[in-house]
Amino acid sequence: MNPPKMSPAVLRLLVIFPNVLSYILLIGVIIYITTNFSGLKAAEVLNFWLILAAVLGPMAIYTTYSIVKRIRAGVL
């Protein structure tokens, strides 16, 4: 008995959707930093938020690169 296969369109959607959410999170963090810059600096937590944005940015870009590479190779 053959197991049911997932269609490629659904598989791409399941892979791309979390990547889009990571960009939305990154944009939200950047907006939060810019709108609350003085408050974050006064509370001495600005470094944490900058490090968080600096870590999320390359992660999102690398994930996008990896997904595009797999789609072009026909694996995904």
**What is d(CA 20, CA 26) in angstroms, rounded to the nearest whole number?**
10
Q: For residue 1, what pLDDT is reported? A: 64
Q: How many CB atoms lie within 10 A of CB 60?
A: 19
pLDDT of residue 10: 86
pLDDT computed for residue 33 by the predictor: 97
| Rounded Cα gap, residues 7 and 28, in angstroms | 32
pLDDT at 7: 83
Per-residue pLDDT of the chain (76 residues; tens, 9 = 90+): 677 787 888 888 888 999 999 999 999 999 999 999 999 999 999 999 999 999 999 999 999 999 999 989 988 7
Residue 6 in tokens: 């997932």
Find the angle CA(41)-CA(47)-CA(48) to the nearest 5 degrees. 115
